[in-house]
Amino acid sequence: MTPSARIQAAIDLLDAIIASARDGGPAADTLIARYFKERRYAGSRDRRAVRDHVYDAIRRAAERPETGREAMIGVAQAWPEIAALFDGSTHAPLPIEPGEAGAVAGAVPGWLQPLLAAPVEQDALLGRAPVDVRVNRLKSDPACVAPMLPDAVAIDGLPDGLRLPEGYPIEQQAVWKDGLVEVQDAGSQWISAACGAQPGMTVVDLCAGAGGKTLALAAAMAGKGMLIAADTIRSRLARLEPRAARAGATFIETLLLDQSHEARGLESLRGKADVVLVDAPCSGTGTWRRNPEARWRLTQARLDRLVAEQARILDFAAPLLAPGGVLVYATCALTDREGRGQVDAFLSRHAGWSAEPIDLPVGRAHGAGLLLTPGHDGSDGFFFARLRRGA
């Protein structure tokens, strides 16, 4: 492919990504993979260059553009060398007309700006994310693993955390294949630490997904006790099984819940849990470094639905705790409605509960919880709070 043809390919892909974001279709990575599967003639350099163009356009525009051409013209306005490739040659985009509009640059959609937590450094929300891993204490320790990853550096405040450069192919390394490390952002590791899970406890990861935090809890429990990974989506829980086997966390139990009837499936755990983690569905505003396209999918209506769902989950999670038990609420979101506001509302609805300080060398106190941001903490963005049921 010529450099100009790569720009046109990026425009074609952006058209598909914009439509998919608007209509709730597949994610950008899926569409890119499909595109090149149908175009075997594109070499590895072509694929890499087109992908870079696509993500440059996505990262640049906070508001969803109308067309892929508009998105790429926005990039061209910032980079003259890209503008020169709009030359009208074979397989190239037509020249940019005088006054032709490009997508407006920005980090955060305008409607969302006033909803973000005040300490968020918005210019850092779209930075490139490193590859963070957690050393799996069920199989090894940092002193043994670190020499196997000479490019890794320790993460301050996380005794089991190591940081690798962006794009590091960790899943190709024996240390990952053998289950000695698990890919996990530093923020997720801190949330797992905030749970305070110990051997012998009964712990429930209520929105477990593919189980990243479940595996961290398993390591903290040293394989002893009851650890339940629950979710309403079967395909997510199915991804946990091979991960748990690789990690040696074979004592994890999975529980598939019926959406909207979760309390029924959790009845046997009522009043028995020492720790419940609610890593709730959220806007994902804290993960834009990894998924900038999410800005094009988020709407006010979707945010309203997420806030309502978070409250509903907290309400059926609370009865699972034994007296004195701890509920950790977390979202990879940086809006106050999903964070401090959600916790304040929970405490107003549930007598006998209290928020307690989180003793971690990271983040900033924010309402009744702790706020992590890429700019301040070098991790994905999170809000989390530790709530204790009265004895």
Helix (H) or strand (E) holding 182: strand 181-183
Q: Specify the residue for token string 């072509």.
A: 46
Pair of tokens at residue 8: 């046109």
Q: Cβ neighbours of residue 107 under 8 Å, at least 6 residues apart?
A: 62, 122, 123, 125, 126
Please list the alpha-helical segments (H only) found in the chain. 3-23, 28-37, 44-60, 68-78, 80-83, 142-145, 174-177, 186-194, 212-220, 234-247, 262-265, 294-297, 300-317, 340-349, 374-377
Q: Specify the residue for token string 């960790």.
A: 170
Q: Specify the residue for token string 């040293």.
A: 222
Burial class for 151, CB neighbours closer than 10 Å (0-12, 13-18, 19+): exposed
Give the orientation angle of helix 44-60 with respect to helix 68-78, to 10 degrees: 90
Active site residue 332: yes
Short-list 314, 307, 355, CA closest to 335:
307
Active site residue: 195, 207, 282, 332, which one? 332
**Spatial separation of the C-alpha atoms in residues 46 and 42, rounded to whole Å:** 6
Kindly state the DSSP code that residue 96 receives in the 8-state scheme: P
- Annotated catalytic residues are 332
